[in-house]
Structure 1
């Protein structure tokens, strides 16, 4: 299966200006490692750090282009590999995934659930609505189609009450950090095709620069072990979000190489 590498460079509910160059760095490392050409979607703009409705309106042109890009990638029968600045880009990617791979399980690596609705959100942050929109819990304007039954959450440890109640009511598999994570992930995926969303804040603080830091996350070894499990399934796509290119504004660039090395079980499968 050919690999289509996409780098998202538009607005997507950014709190700061570190995620867009972070995505560019991730895409550049993947391109060199796998010998790929990169298709870039969107143009860098300063962060607004605003309410979700303001952010969505500002991001909509680039998000629609990203959705269209994914439709083309999957219509051509390619594997989608994407570096996305923020989780809100999934408002565009996952509806396209659902149209072309409706049986795929979205394995959502993240410190958060991102399952809030606009009414339930206490922060008004667009990224907190990134998974609920594709599931049809609210109308983003970018489509839905993703079944809640096709979600597996991994690494969440900062859930809002609405999200916790939804996870319990819908019996969404929630694999917390800790012992036997690979086994629990294997059981949750249950042999189904998978699409992987990796928010870098699923990792413990201090491993890579991220907007949010929450203690007791995954290590790079944990991530590698999870990737080894998922490589045993049919994998239809991987998106890497929320890698910031520095620890602080104006700081020295940080390489994503250790993160990408932890993905090696999946990348090795792509090279076959």
Structure 2
């Protein structure tokens, strides 16, 4: 592993916009998993730990702005230092801070966004008043966050599967029109790699891209990736182009301990795979 770039690990121990404490518990569990697997304790970014529940995005964005800026700054600092930023956080709103910050440092950056939801809602299309569902749209400038933007054509989205009429369908279709590509979870790996091109990659992974049979969560959607399909895709992505950073958000850790441990171990495998430290 001597030829691998060093890792810069960050755990955002703060509520951004998620509804329950399970996602924040997931950050703590994954931080311990990272420390055990990679032999490095993540640096913590601390912030509010409450309140939980459905809170308006117009309140969550300013309440979380300092945390989002800090996470973006840490990722950008790591890239400038020749390290690979690895960030774990409680929900996808993290990307509002991280994606624009990394894109400013890496010319020709491409983003692989793995998620069952498009996360491309805007103030005009949103129906659930949730910042997490607006995260990629905000990072791509579909609405103004004040934290910078990336070109939506840099983004390849894999896994969105909102049926017509669902709460995020309008945002999904806007993303389909504006992003570089939007592919189903069942897309052949070769199609994903072709859409990404050859540039440096930043990967965003939301575990709800997994099928509910693998990751049973109340907002899961059928037709997602299986465990081996996820790891196979990540291995192919890492072999295809340099991965200059990645983030894992929204581990909605199950109350059932065996399920929580099983999914947490799979996500640990995913992190090791992207970091090039996987035994496989």
The TM-score, its normalising length taken from structure 2, stands at 0.87
Give the structure 1 partner of residue 73 of structure 2: 68
Which of the residues 240, 250, 254 maps onto 1:242?
250
Decide whether aligned partners of structure 1 residues 78 and 219 sit closer, same or farther in structure 2, where only a CA change above 3 A counts.
Answer: same
The count of corresponding residues between Structure 1 and Structure 2 is: 266
Residue 143 (structure 1) aligns with: 148
1:153–1:174: 8 Å Cα contact kept in structure 2? yes
Q: 1:5 to 1:163 in 2, by over 3 A?
A: same
**CA offsets per residue over residues 108-167 of structure 1, 9 Å max, x none?**
0000111111121111110011011111121112222x1111000111112734334324
Task: Report deviation, 1:205.
Answer: 1.0
Per the TM alignment, residue 48 of structure 1 is displaced from its structure 2 partner at its CA by 4.2
- Gap regions ≥5 residues in structure 2: none
The alignment status of 1:217 with 2:224, answered yes or no, reads yes
Q: Give ranges in structure 1 of 5+ residues lacking alignment.
A: none
Which one of 42, 47, 51 corresponds to residue 56 of structure 2? Answer: 51
Q: Answer yes or no: is 1:194 the counterpart of 2:194.
A: no
SS of the residue aligned with 1:120? coil
CA–CA distance in 1 between the matches of 2:220 and 2:278?
30
Q: Which of 14, 35, 42 in structure 2 is aligned with 1:38?
A: 42
Does residue 89 of the first structure (1) align with residue 94 of the second (2)?
Answer: yes
Verify the 8 A CA contact 2:155 2:179 in the aligned structure 1. no
TM-superposed CA distance for 1:210, in Å, is 4.3
Match of 2:24 in 1: 20
Structure 1 stretches of 4+ moved >6 Å: none
1: CA distance between counterparts of 2:272 and 2:75? Answer: 23
Of the three residues 262, 267, 270, the one matched with 2:275 is 267
Cα pair distance change 1:107/1:27, threshold 3 Å: same
User: Does the 8 Å CA contact 1:224/1:262 hold for their aligned counterparts?
Assistant: yes
